[in-house]
Chain A
Amino acid sequence: MKPTRSISIANQVDSLPLANALIDQFCRRHALAAELEQTLMLLCEEVLCNTISHGYPDGSRGRIQLELYRDRERVTLRFEDDGIAFDPTSQPEAQLGLPIAEAPIGGLGLAMIKQLSDETHYQRQGKYNILTLSCNATSQRDRKKT
């Protein structure tokens, strides 16, 4: 399946608006519901931030490829980066729901990735991490094409 939209960005947080613009374009083109767009933006931000903050501990420059696919039932985000091997789908779950004084500051991003996607898949291919996250699109009411 060919990606409907794709972008290659630098491993810097300044790149986040580029990814958001791509998602916005994609959602408009496919007339996806605002709720789904919000979910895709959250997934994208959480994954990219994680990769940018932890994937390049030596501070090296890297590229992250983001691709978006749509089929009838779902929207898929595919991330490919050349950072250190990291499988976000197999990390221990952060302890959620604790009173604020005891609540950990970290681990929220990974919890959100798990909760917001209907299917996750990770593989290490050579020097690349490949992460795909899918969200069901059928349960979301599509907004009217304008």
Chain B
Amino acid sequence: MPLEFNISEKQATVQRVELSGRLDTLTAPQLDRALDDVPPDTRMLIFDMTALDYISSAGIRSIFKATKSVQRNGGRAGVLNMQPQIRKVFDIVKAMPDVPIFRNDEEMDEYLDAMQKKIIDGGDLS
């Protein structure tokens, strides 16, 4: 099963990366190339893993790299909706302890609303 992905702007400066299928050694380079084009002013990069069935360390490295890059530009990353087998892999390597994981769209939207508010109020999201 190959990897399919779609990167779209959910709202201004929020990019949503929908992943489905397998993110592994063979498919991770395709995602790396696509993530290179994420705009540098991105404040939030969301990996939607609802339809992701398999991830190996190569896939986690892709997520790591993109997250590090968005953080360097002052943004942050989040993960939406992991299937249990994906969660297990993240847990095993204790990946991204400081990255929020949303169980559903509502949780994510609440977080984004709070983030937006902080920006308007001039505060920083902690």
Interface residues, chain A, with chain B CB atoms under 8 Å away: 13-14, 16-17, 35, 38, 41-42, 45-46, 49, 96-101, 103, 105, 108-109, 111-112, 115-116
Q: By the criterion CB–CB under 8 Å, are A46 and B54 in contact? A: no
Q: Once the chains are docked, how many angstroms separate the CA of A15 from the CA of B98?
A: 35
Can you list 16 A-B contacts with CB-CB less than 8 angstroms, sorted by A residue number? A13-B25, A41-B54, A42-B56, A46-B57, A97-B94, A100-B67, A101-B68, A103-B96, A105-B61, A108-B57, A108-B60, A108-B61, A109-B57, A111-B93, A112-B92, A115-B92
B-side interface residues toward A, CB under 8 Å?
A: 24-26, 54, 56-58, 60-61, 64-65, 67-68, 71, 77, 85, 89, 92-99
Instruction: Say yes or no: A97-B97 contact (C-beta < 8 A), given A13-B25, A38-B85, A116-B92.
Output: yes
Tell me the bound Cα distance from A111 to B77 in angstroms. Answer: 23
Main SS of chain A's interface residues? helix
Chain B residue, CB-CB nearest to A17: B26
A49:B25 contact, CB within 8 angstroms: yes
Min C-beta distance of A104 to chain B, whole Å: 9
- Residue of A with least CB distance to B29: A13
Interchain CB contact under 8 A, B98 and A42: no
Q: Are B24 and A45 in contact (CB under 8 A)?
A: yes
Q: In the complex, how many angstroms separate the beta carbon of A114 from the nearest chain B beta carbon? A: 9
CB distance from B63 to the nearest CB of A (A): 9
Partner of B93, one of A13, A38, A101, A108: A108
Contacts of A17 in B (CB 8 A): 26
Q: Report the bound CA distance from A100 to B79 in whole Å.
A: 13
Chain B residue contacts of A96, Cβ below 8 A: 93-95
CA distance A98 to B60 in the complex (A): 14
Chain A residues near B64 (CB-CB < 8 A): 100, 103, 105
Q: Which of B60, B71, B77, B93 has its CB near the most chain A CB atoms (within 10 A)?
A: B93
Nearest 4 A/B pairs, CB to CB: A97-B94, A108-B57, A96-B94, A109-B57
Q: B61 to chain A: which residues have CB within 8 Å?
A: 105, 108
Cβ–Cβ contact B98 & A100, under 8 A: yes
Measured in the bound complex, the distance between the Cα atoms of B60 and A96 in whole Å is 13
Interface centre among A45, A100, A105, A112 (most CB of B within 10 A): A100
CA distance A101 to B94 in the complex (A): 14
